[in-house]
Chain A
Amino acid sequence: MNSDANPVATLVWTFALMSLFAVGGANSAIPEMHRVAVDVQHWMDDRQFADIFAISQLSPGPNVLIVTLIGYHVAGIAGALAATVAMCGPTAVLAYYVSRLLARSSHSRWPAIIQAALVPLSIGLMGASGLILAVASDRSWVAGLITVSAAALAFATRLNPLWILLAGGAFGFAGVV
């Protein structure tokens, strides 16, 4: 525990830095969030992290909301707002300037090349997110089966993901997980 440091300042510093490395969006940064929140800062345990991910998926809005929930867990409303702004701010400013730059020198081939190079990285990162979250939430073979079924359903059908989440919740309520 870093009890001497101000938790809000730690949140801001952590997520501002993370946002600049979040290649492919918030879901790619989940392993890093887990590493910092569970292993480094001991803000929460594995189960609480899985809960927070579940809540972030249940609430409407962009995936980045998991950061809001982590911030609230650490330092209440101030923490929630600070973490959210820190995660969105630096890249928003960057996006603003890069888009103006590119608007002037259009038809550069570099964006396409950089994007092609980053796609495998962001998929690998999201895969790692899946693995870490599966380890945190699947504590029985039934739980693992629900994860595999949800993945198969979402992969093969165009079912609204909300139904799949609710079905998972119903199985949980029934006590089979």
Chain B
Amino acid sequence: MPQDSLPAAVPADLPLSQPPTPPGLLELFVAFAKMSLAGFGGVLVWARRGIVDQHRWMTAEEFNETFALCHFLPGPNIVNLSVVFGSRFRGIAGGVAAFAGLIGPPVMIAIILAALYARYGEIDALRRILAGVSCAAVGLLIAVVFKMMMPLVKKREVAGLMILVAVFVAIGVLRLPLQMVLLVAIPLSLGITLFVRRRGNA
């Protein structure tokens, strides 16, 4: 989310050189479980709040760098973040503890909701409510897309916007398989980005 990825201001009074004691396994699990359960429609804001502001396990810059890494890797970003973060302090066990905290409690809630849906999903009142919620949820997703697009529009990145539209049409309208589209689009986008940067430097 664009407003989340902005480098947050670092309070100057943070003791950068000596972070508090590195978190233990249980502490990692509990911290990520809390962030995860607080996050409706996105955990990132809460992750930043917990890791940087509350526990001071990372500075804002360290957090942004770690998140940037997890954002360019495929897969659920915040899941990647939990593994990278946990393993930095406590090795593989730390990564597993943070991951389990992030994903465990919400998965249990999701399973309960899924069971309720499987049982009562055809009840008329619930059907109507879910239909309304899904209309609104789609709207939220569309808003995120436009927010993320704004920097590209403002900087007039024509090549980027063309790739964006091409991917949108290929996947959304033509419904082509994801792998096929990405195998073409990733090299193309990389090539264009490198070309534009070279020309910008020359």
Contact indicator A117/B186 (Cβ below 8 Å): yes
Interface SS, B side: helix
Most chain A Cβ neighbours within 10 Å, of B83, B95, B165: B83
B14 CB within 8 Å of chain A: no
Give complex CA distance A73, B136 in Å: 23
A7 CB within 8 Å of chain B: no
B26 CB within 8 Å of chain A: no
Give the residues in chain B near A115, CB-CB below 8 Å. Answer: 68, 71-72
Give the residues in chain B near A23, CB-CB below 8 Å. Answer: 74, 182, 186
A26 CB within 8 Å of chain B: yes
B12 CB within 8 Å of chain A: no
Give the residues in chain B near A94, CB-CB below 8 Å. Answer: 73-75
Contact indicator B148/A126 (Cβ below 8 Å): yes
Contact indicator A60/B178 (Cβ below 8 Å): no
Give complex CA distance A128, B129 in Å: 24
Pick from A20, A59, A127: contact of B113, CB below 8 A: A59
Most chain A Cβ neighbours within 10 Å, of B75, B106, B185: B75
Give the residues in chain A near B140, CB-CB below 8 Å. Answer: 57, 150-151, 154, 161, 164-165
Chain A positions 34 through 52: 1 when the CB is less than 8 Å from some CB of chain B, otherwise 0: 0100010000000010111
Give complex CA distance A68, B140 in Å: 21
Contact indicator A137/B134 (Cβ below 8 Å): yes
Give the residues in chain B near A12, CB-CB below 8 Å. Answer: none
A interface residues, how many (CB within 8 angstroms): 108
Contact indicator B131/A143 (Cβ below 8 Å): yes
Give the residues in chain A near B106, CB-CB below 8 Å. Answer: 59-62, 65
B25 CB within 8 Å of chain A: no
Interfacial residues, chain A to chain B (CB-CB below 8 A): 17-27, 29, 31-32, 35, 39, 48, 50-65, 68-69, 72-73, 77, 80-81, 84, 87-88, 90-92, 94-96, 98-99, 102, 111-134, 136-139, 143-144, 146-155, 160-162, 164-175, 177
16 new A-B contacts at CB < 8 Å, known A62-B42, A124-B163, A151-B143? A24-B77, A54-B134, A58-B133, A61-B102, A63-B42, A68-B114, A94-B75, A124-B164, A126-B144, A146-B136, A150-B139, A151-B139, A161-B140, A165-B133, A168-B135, A177-B132
